[in-house]
Amino acid sequence: MADTGRTHVIAQSFQSIEQIDENVPLIDYDIHDTLVHDETEVKTPRENEVCGNFEDFDHEYIDGKTFDTQEAVYEFYNQYALLNGFGTRKHNAHKIKATGVIFRRQFVCNKQGFKNLNDKRLIGNEKRRRDLRTGCEAMMQVTLSNNLGVWVVDKFQDEHNHPLTTTPSKVVKHHSHSKYHRTNVCKSLVSDLNNEGLKPSRLPGF
């Protein structure tokens, strides 16, 4: 299991790089019981936080962090994962039952859960790939604030139950860090880290 209680180094960008995929399990909740109401608990983003600017981020800072869009949330968590040595997936999206509007979304480690080996789409497929997931519970959840109109991090879990990827040249092989998911600045950053022999999960600040 990876070390916990440490200060994380994160690089982030709020540029939208991929549209959120709505084809994920949807769960209906009562919006009045689940939205964030107390704006005094909401933290606003720091200025000049872009990919390549390294600052120390701790658990307390990430909890309560705000974003304008779901795309910005995904970009932040994906860049966090890139520099910490793991890949990401978009997970559950929760809807308001009456309107169908999404008010909560989860982004998880790509080793979250386990594959459904009884999936009808896999029956008869002799070349079924082995399950590489480990049931990892690392994730970040955001909920739409009904009085501020921003997405607020209300759940953040940074513990992994598997080793993190050790080198930049390997971490970029995760699907979420492929060339279609990363900015040119971040691709250059990862290349520079690899040339210097730095590991994604062992950057300065840990």
Delimit the domains of the chain by residue range: 8-34+46-202
Mean pLDDT by 10 residues, the chain (206 residues): 39 33 41 38 38 50 89 85 78 87 89 64 57 76 89 88 67 54 58 62 42
Closest CA relative to residue 54, chosen from 111, 82, 12, 109: 12
Element (H, E) at 28: strand 26-29
Q: How far apart are CA 188 and CA 15, in angstroms?
A: 16
The reported pLDDT for the residue numbered 117 is 60
Q: How far apart are CA 190 and CA 206, in angstroms?
A: 18
